[in-house]
Structure formats: structure tokens, C-alpha cells
Amino acid sequence: MFRGMLIEKDEQGYRAAVKDIDESALPEGDVTVNVQYSTLNYKDGLAITGKGPVVRQFPMVPGIDLVGVVAQSDSNKFVVGDTVLLNGFGVGEVHCGGLAQKARLKSDWLIKLPKAFSARQTMAIGTAGYTAMLCVIALEKNGVTPDKGEILVTGANGGVGSFAIAILAKLGYQVVASTGRADQVDYLKGLGAKEVIDRQLLSEPGRPLAKERWAGAVDSVGSHTLANICASIKYGGTVAACGLAQGMDLPATVMPFILRGVTLAGIDSVMRPISDREEAWQRLGEIFANPSEQAMFDNISTEINLNGVIQAAEELMAGKIRGRIVVDVNG
């Protein structure tokens, strides 16, 4: 038996609770991991609170991230004692995830712990930081260099936004952060934002084309916000879109794309090939190589245990969480 967060749905309704789980309930996989840390992401919040149709199989252990030590392996890729990392691949949705003390997984989903980080640090980064890195790589590959001008980051006080600001600032970009939380200005400037703007400037319906301002953007909001960003991107600029906090619609026109050559780069972190994941984690290790830089992770993240997950999920859905939530599943 091991402890874990379990989501169930039956004639009694939809519910989530920390329970003792029998190891026989673990799904198929060729690697069994003793989990050290997991995280609480927006998708996990939707799953635990039932506010979004994330879970597609019940019962389910949520948690789209995990890091832990291999306890059993039928794969030639990993041996007992290896520390491994997982982000996404449908874990926590269709395959039991990281918010438990044990997980059984497919070896094709795992990478070894990056040398630059401790196990806890990888979860302070987690899917949010890894996704932010993928967004920045997309901007770079489309020619958005620091000399091109300002980069906008929306949903700035969230996990993706926080890491996007920190990464971009470290690489020499001028970062403007958009947030609805005026009390977080000092936090965002501490991460490297040179300016903080109110999200309402972008969240209402706008014009098909606006004044050119942004050389690029990292957007985790979607809907009218994304449409307004595209309308105000400079000629040849790129928007990396990775979220839908405002909505999944895109009330835009083709004008920014055909008149200004704007690129809208969709960023999927869930099914990303292993090679892309390894590149992103390698870059993160290079950017935050020094212990003094890694100290920033403590400012971005808060640690809880399994018993605090349900309350934290409710607060996350209410927009009260800043940065990252790391879950010590053994705490």
C-alpha cells in the first residue's frame, strides 16, 4: 500500500481524497518509480476540483509531473536507482500520475534527472518551466532576438509566466509582464520584468490590427488576449501560445498574419518528443547553472504535502496561487 491522491467518479458523484492505494491498482508500465516530488498545475487543479473534463479514466491519480527513483525496471533504458523525471504524456489524465508515493510508467515517457538540478528543483520548474523554455526556444527559432524589442508575457504570475520572465530576462530580452494582480508587481520585477501592465489592456475585444509594439510574446491566456497580442506584434514577430486561461476561442482575423508576417507558434508540452524535452531541460540547466540563480526557484515555488493538495487546488482555480506548487508526496 502507498499514499496518494485519488479521484473517483461513480453514482455517489465526483470526488478527490488522499487514500491508501494498493500497488496492484497501478496501471501497466515497464518502470516502477518511488516518487519523491510532484507538482500542482492548472490542469491538476481542474482535475482535482472537477472544474474541467481533464480526467478520462477513473479512478485516477492526478499529477502531470513527477520525479523519483526507479524501484523496478523491465526497460534497458533505466536501472534500479536511477532518478527519473516525467512531464505530461497524458499522465494524470488517462494514466495514474505523480500525486502519490508510487507510480508505474512507460520508459518512453521518462528522462534522467538533469545534472544541473536536484529532484526538488526539477519540480519547482516542472511542466510550467519546461513549457516556458519550449516557448522561448520557439521565439529563438523564428528569429526573435533580444535586439528586436520588447517581449510580452501574459499570465505573468503563474508558473509558465514566472519562468518565461526569468528565462527571457536571463537571455537579455526586455520583458513586459501582464497580470491582473497589482500586488505582484515587485515579484514580477524581481524575476526580471522591466514593466508590468494590467491584463485588462489586452483582455477585451480589440481591433484586427493595432499599433505594433511587441517583437514577440509568450501567451498562456488565449481568447481575446491572444487575439490582441497578435494584432500588436511587430512585423515578422512570433507569438508562442501555450494556454487558455481566458478561453479556448480565438476571436481574431488573418490580418496580422498576412499583412505583418506574424507567426503564431503553438506549444504542446504534453506529447512533445523526448529529444525536444531533453533540449529544453538542457537549456534550463545552462541558463540556471549557478546555485545563486537556482535560489530563485524558492521564490517562485511553494512546498506542500499531499494533505494540502485539495485546498491548494481550490486556491489555484480561484487565481490565488503565485508561481509553482511543489508537492512532497512523502511529507
Query: Is residue 78 a contact partner of residue 107, using CB atoms and an 8 Å limit?
Result: yes
What the block records as the C-alpha cell of 122 is 526539477
Total tally of structural domains belonging to the chain? 2
Q: What is the mean pLDDT of residues 197-215?
A: 97
CB neighbourhood size of 224 (10 A): 19
pTM score of the predicted model: 0.94
Q: Do the domain assignments include residue 201?
A: yes
Sequence-separated (6 or more) residues with CB below 8 Å from residue 214: 149, 150, 151, 152, 176, 229, 232, 233, 234, 237
Q: Do the domain assignments include residue 276?
A: no
Q: Return d(Cα 35, Cα 17) in angstroms, integer.
A: 18
Sequence-separated (6 or more) residues with CB below 8 Å from residue 315: 321
Among 83-92, 95-104, 253-262, 318-327, whose mean pLDDT is lowest? 318-327
Q: Do the domain assignments include residue 277?
A: no
What is the helix (H) or strand (E) element at residue 112, kind and residue range? strand 111-112
Q: What is the pLDDT, as a whole number, of residue 295? A: 86
First to last CA, the chain: 16
Domain that holds residue 206: 127-266
DSSP bridge partners of 269? none
> Model confidence over 55-76: pLDDT tens digits?
999 999 999 999 999 999 999 9
CATH number for the domain harbouring residue 313: 3.90.180.10
Query: Is residue 26 a contact partner of residue 102, using CB atoms and an 8 Å limit?
Result: yes
Q: What is the pLDDT, as a whole number, of residue 189? A: 97
Q: Do the domain assignments include residue 282?
A: no
CATH number for the domain harbouring residue 182: 3.40.50.720
Both 6 and 100 in one domain: the answer is yes
What the block records as the C-alpha cell of 148 is 528586436
Under the banding of pLDDT at 50, 70 and 90, the label for residue 151 is very high
Helix, strand, coil share of the chain (percent; to 5): 35, 30, 35
Under the banding of pLDDT at 50, 70 and 90, the label for residue 299 is confident
Both 144 and 90 in one domain: the answer is no
Q: Return d(Cα 82, Cα 178) in angstroms, integer.
A: 40
More reliable by pLDDT, 182 or 67: 67
Residue with cell 510574446: 217
